[in-house]
Structure 1
Amino acid sequence: MAVSLVLVGLVAVGFAPGVASADDTLERDGTDLVVNVSEVEDPETVTVAVTDPADPEISYEANATRSDGNTVRIDVTDPASGSVNGTDLRDATVTVTVDPSGDNATAVQLTNGTSVPLHAVAFADDRPAWIGEGEAENASDTLYVPLDAAGTVGVPDGDTVDIDVDGSETANVTGTVHGDGEQLTVDRDELLSEVGDSRETLDLRVLSSAGRVIDEPEIEPELRSRGDGLALWHPLFASGETYTVDASTVGEDARYTATAAETDEGYLELSRLSANDTAIRVSTADGTTLANYTDDDPIAYSGPPEVDAELSDDGALRFDRSLAGLSVDGAVVGAGDEGGSTYANIESKIGSEGRLTPEETDLSGAKTLLLSTAAGDVAASIESGGGSGSAAAGSVGAIGGILPILAVLLVPIVVGLGLGGIISQVQNDVPDIVSKLILGGVGLALALLALLAVHALAPITILGTALQWVGLVGVVIGAAVTPVVPTVVASRKPGVVAASGPFAAKVTVTDGSDLFRGDVSVHYRKPDGRDRYDPVSVRGGRETIQLPGTGTWEVYARHGSARSNVETVDANDPAATLTIPVEATLTVVDAVDGEPVADATISGEAGISGTTDRNGAVTLDPPEDATDAEIEVSHDRYADATERVRFRQNASPTVELDRRTGRLRGSATVDGTAVGAVPIRIVPDDEFLSDRFEVETVSTNADGTLEERTLPIGQYRVETTLADGDGYEKTETTVTVRESGTARAEVDARFTWRLDADRRDRIDRIRRDVRSVSEGGGRDGTIPRYYASVVESMLDVAESVPDAGHEFVGREADPGDAVDGILAAAERTTDAIAEAMTTKRNVDLFAACADMPDADVRWSGTFDLAELLDRLEADSGAQRREVKQRYEAVDGLIEDRRGELSEIAPAREMQQRAWELTREADRGPEAVAIGYTSLLLLDAVEELFEHDALRERLTRTVF
């Protein structure tokens, strides 16, 4: 259970949204503290020490060599030293130190005394939230939320945390953490008054000074069993408010509808519906949706939550403290598989320490409880509490004090002695080592059976008592004496030593470790070697050979061309062990992927040598004087490895080689400009790498850099894969990755798209039309030229597209479509400016300004190609709304300036034409470009009032 809780805590706090601290070196990303180590060369270890005087022992350590780019992540719930439970870490003061790699490197202190939040909160997903009365007198309803204590750290018991409930990332309400991080309570009145427009789920985003510190803040509606039926619980159902309900059981003819349904403690009763998949929609009188589950995506009832409870000696139940404050108004008590169940009238509340005291209800013998609570029906499994340890003394005393000790000790010994005595009567010679091991094993089994028989016949507890150890001592002695008795008896029998005449030799053939399983021939001869005898065939590694005469004999074994050692036997020592050395097939593989390594060189003692084949295998001949040998495996692309090889039958040892690796960094540009998300192919470019490894495809970061990668040493070709059809020319470079240093690959893609003659003619034509807007006999052209400068900016951008290839990387926009959209928008805009500047009021005004000094006032903004491309990939409907909002804002500005000026027609007419451009546009790239241009025209209208030369013209009186 402890391991499970730890794993749940680690998962619950593993992910959270990124938030930045006041110091750029430190950021919070959920439960991770992110340390920027970019200013340290080759960082190795990062240490974050909490320097608050309250608990100076807390520190975190992380391996910087496994960093993500220039940042290192540290889990705030897992310190290297000190305890984060019960310590206030909501505004911790830390010192960050980085140790660079290298023996003589000097530690770098990145921060000293920086404040950063180190706390975290995690909801428990296996226990239900509920609504109940607050603990304080006259307190309003409270939302109780069980927490995962392993993932909730840095908040002292009883302290508050800030919570965002409307998505603004600012604190709307406060919550209180109880039970050392096991429960969170929030005032319901505050929740209901501060929650935002979206109310289908409740998001309790627990905040810190640097953003939220919770991974999954959602509390969703749940189907629960309550009373005699099904109910929908929602944390945002308000008592006294009525709801429109339409619910049905999926696949069944059961429906519940209501137009003024009321709720209680967050529950909406669903009469006549079964506990199956349910489609339901709940909304308020103003149309706000609180639940919307369709037949295709229904809400399911998964049964009552399951919790554990411990029954104390005083009859009280102890639950997890996350359930503190949960009211109980009844229970079904189960006594096990055969005991049935009864109803208990329990009306109480779980206390702050998780204690529930049933009044006048005896729960002894209860195994399960189905509790009716404010959190719906809850299933509890009961374990009995209380101490242990007196059973041993009682059992010993019950059967006579010392008697059970003697029984469990002596019975296994007597069994061993008896078995050994029986065997000694039929044993004619001294048992060899194998026979002794077999006898010991048989004696161990019978002695253990005898011990178990004693425990079965007498009321003695085996586990957890001193008798267990006494019995085990008896078993060991009984097993040991089983082979000892036949050995002693056989050695003292008369005639064993003084054997004469022909005798039988016991031959054991091994491969150095195990019995030789194949067929071998055993040869025997006199020491002078003159007498020849036919060999004996042996299978299975053991054979008894009848030797034809007295005295000493030499025996040896053969298997093919391999020959064993020569041993001597006689009647007094008739046993011989013969070892036949066998070859071994060694396989060398890559330690990472298990693929065979060819051309690896094998060398070792006793002249062992060889080279692996394409399957990574090599057959090694055994040394003459040993059954195992130490070898060294080497390869120019792998680290050397040492292995001890045992030469025995069917031996196929495998040696794993660690790759020799180096580091690769890189960057990608387009026409010399850094750009992110450039696809890069890392292609193995030498014979060894090409045969072993696949091509790797990656992308550069936002700044155009390729994160450092660890690769097997060798030559690689690094190339961009920007498609030729998109106007890019493929480029590549070759690098060699070595164990020392870092290889760098820089590739620059060429953008080959160019403006064709038709588009250039179109640009020239639009420029002529733009110039004609500001030319008029006898009239001032300053304001028309000012608006025309917006179009000129658009044409400049269109002409610059061949030099802006970096802007199209990673986008679906086609350069030709983008230019065509700009030119179409420029034509429409030129027409709109001409129409707006030639109305009667504007013509009269410009005629009245003809005597004013000429002024070259241009719009200060720019038509930005990158922004246009972003808009081409966005929702065109959202752009239309944006233009509408800007149009209304500019309308208000014009009305504000009306009283200051004599004439506002140049502003009003241009404002209206800008909106008409967007309103009349269709869809596609041209419509997006027109919408973007409309925003720029409205910006020019707004800026019109900021230029003195233009305002002076608006103050002229026409008549």
Structure 2
Amino acid sequence: MTMGEFSRSVVGIVAVLVAASVVAGVGVGGAAATDHVGIEQSGATLAVTIDQSAFGIDDTENATVAVEIAGTEIASGEGAVSTSGGTNRYEIDLTADDSLADQDLSSANVTVLPEAGNESTVSGLDLRYVKLSDSGARYDGSKLVLPVSTAIGIPDGTTVELAGRAGGESGTLTATMRSSGTELVVSRTDAFATLALADRNLSVSSTGAVELDGGTYNIRENAGEEAGASLDGSSLVVNHPLLFEEREYTLTITTTQDGADVLTTRSGIAGDGSITVEHGGTAQAETEVTFEHGDVALGTVAVSLGTGPTADLSADGQNVTVNGRLGGEGETNVTVFAGESYEQRAQLSGVPYQNNTVLFGETGHELANASYLLLFEPDSGEPFASSVDAGGGDALVNSVGGGSSLGFLPSFDLGTAFGIPILAIIAVGVLFALIVIVAVWFLIRGNGDDNAGGGGTSIMEVNVRLLDGMTNELIDQPTRIEFEPTRERSSNGPVTRTIRGEDTVEVPQTTHRVSPALDAVQQTDSVSPANQQVKLSIPPKSEQITVQAAGTDIRLPDATVELAFPDGSTDERTTDDDGTAAFKVPYTVDERDCELTVDHDRYRSTTTGLTGSVALEPLTGGARVDARLDSERAPDVDVVVEPDDEYTQRVADPKTATTGAEGAVLVEDLPVGAYVAHLNFEDSDTVETTPASFEVTADQQVTETIDATFSFQLNDDQRRRIDDLHRDISELTPSNRDGAIPYYFGNVLSTVLSTVDEFEDAGVVFVSHGVDPDDATEATIMAVDDAVDYTRTAMTNKQNVDLFSACRGLREARVKWDGDVSVTNFVAFLGDEKANHRQEMISRLESVDGILNEKQDAVSTVTPARDQYDQVREHATGLQDLSPAEQRAHFFVGLQFLDAIESMFDQPELVDRLEETVF
């Protein structure tokens, strides 16, 4: 059968069950509890016979029976269907009760209850039955699904065995019921592989107690619906339900361009339901791909490989110029397709080419002016197809009827009476010449081979042993071996055979160089008629493992890497300075069954499959740092932890954390190793600290205490100005008139100014709020100095002077302001950069203004309070040119005055002055 005939015989066939309407009538056997009752199954019918005499029934009686199966009464006969020979026969339809389909009836109890009594029971019958539908078989993945018409006693999930036969082969198939008893799913087992490859038609018959129709499924065409192919770089990958692992298949590539026939073939070994065949990465024609085993097609799928370059035919037909694909010099195999359907006309080997010109004339051949499709397979480079459109003809020059030779016969017109006898004469002559040539060739080959075994034998058997170079064991998996003739002018080309372990193969009888057809394997041997044994040792596979830190590109030297093989043996290596360890894996070992365990003293161990790169998570611990300033806990202080050895400096970054209210902070997730910690006082000249070094260990917490010293002192100029301000404040109280109210406001300023004297002992406060004590001192002196001036202005107002003069008759009073001003809240106010102090001042002014308006009717005058209020408000609006620290100091003093103004109405001595009416 030709390829085209075969393709036409299989394309479009739908998987069907043939003759499924013929129900197999083979019984599953019968059994009886007594000699008086008989039971047998025939398909979906249960036949019951009873002895008339045993139950007192005569021929004229229409007696009935009841039948229970697995405790369920499924039928009550209306009477015997036949009566003869002293027996009554009853037929029970097993499909009458749907509940039987969901029960396992592989060992069913059957009870027969004749109307006349004398109960009789038959136990342990296998009543399972299945009948297949007449169409709808399909593939589900790699499993064959057979549609079920009737199923009794086989619940979903039940596994049954079927007898299969195909092409003279037989085997037991495993099938599972599913989809509520409507499908039997046949697994792709070894038996199924044998049957699938034996013939296109699979016959299924009974096994055990399961009755199946003797139907036939065209499993080949069913499988074709599931086939798929794709182009992956230089490989064609085909998935197919009928590809079986470790079997070799043939790939046939045909073009759809203008109906051309087969372009070329490749072969490959399938693995786990798919097959990859190297085909070169260059552009080809639009093609179809067919996989075959023997002459049985397994499905045809389309795959696009692009379009090849154009080519031009020389005038004499002896040269073909290919645009840009055959540079330099070399040889190429050429397959020639021609005619309207592009039939294959010739296959030429070793055609020379030079600078993109293929020299057909060098081989004694020439092409006529016609259209061709040429498939080039050069000795270097990738195969490609090219079209030649020279017009003019439909055949090769000097060829007859599209044969496979070129250029040595004259052309005749076969449509004439003269042409036919001439053709017959030529045909006889050619046949005779071929016989003579073949005889001479065998004679020359038999006598001319230095290594010939005698007798002119053209085929020899070679014993091949394929060994694992590491274990010296036979390689028990299919491996392609290439036999290449060593003689340059040998008429035989390279041949490839697939062997497994040790095998005997047939090859042309000549000296061959033998090598495994495997990438990166250069080991070779030779065979000849005088030495027909060869031993090939396949070297182990090299695996290089790189160990690195997870999430980084840091490679880890000194890691221990253990490789465990499937047989339990292990190999251990230590990574080098580049973090790599090299292993040898026996060729016969599947890397997927190996396991890696990696250990490192600074990283967590891990176990994984064999892979080229392993990432380790670092071992980590933590550190608690207690910050102390002048032996006091220091809250809100930044602690900086920095790596302090070669390893931690590579894998860890510095970390900064802030102490809490207790003056401590916990720094976690530090890779094990050496660290140094210090308190961050970079902006302060008044704090001195000593770093602390410590070691972090895996899953532990270390505690370190860091002490700092605060060393601020007021300078002489600051002390002098503070003394001057205290004198100025005391002078606010006049000696020649009542001084109670001026003294009260002066006391506000004395209280604020006195906090400066405590700055030298308030290191923790300044550090925790980030305030420089020198800046705070200068800002406070400035704010108090300005406040003395505007308080003096308010207290020397003429109306106030008259009031104070009028109050000289009152008892002298020195009332102090009861406000609470501490170093802590003052420094906190100065260091709070986020608060809106201006808005706070505005709100407080509005509040105190309302109080003054309210008190105005309660006393004779509020002038001293109002004038001081006006001075504070006016001063607060003119601070734009000051630094932020200076502004905050002025706002703080102003807020203390507003508090004093509000609370002065709670002081009786001061209220007495405001109620004075004679002034």
Structure showing the higher strand proportion among its residues:
2
Tell me the TM-score normalized by structure 2: 0.43
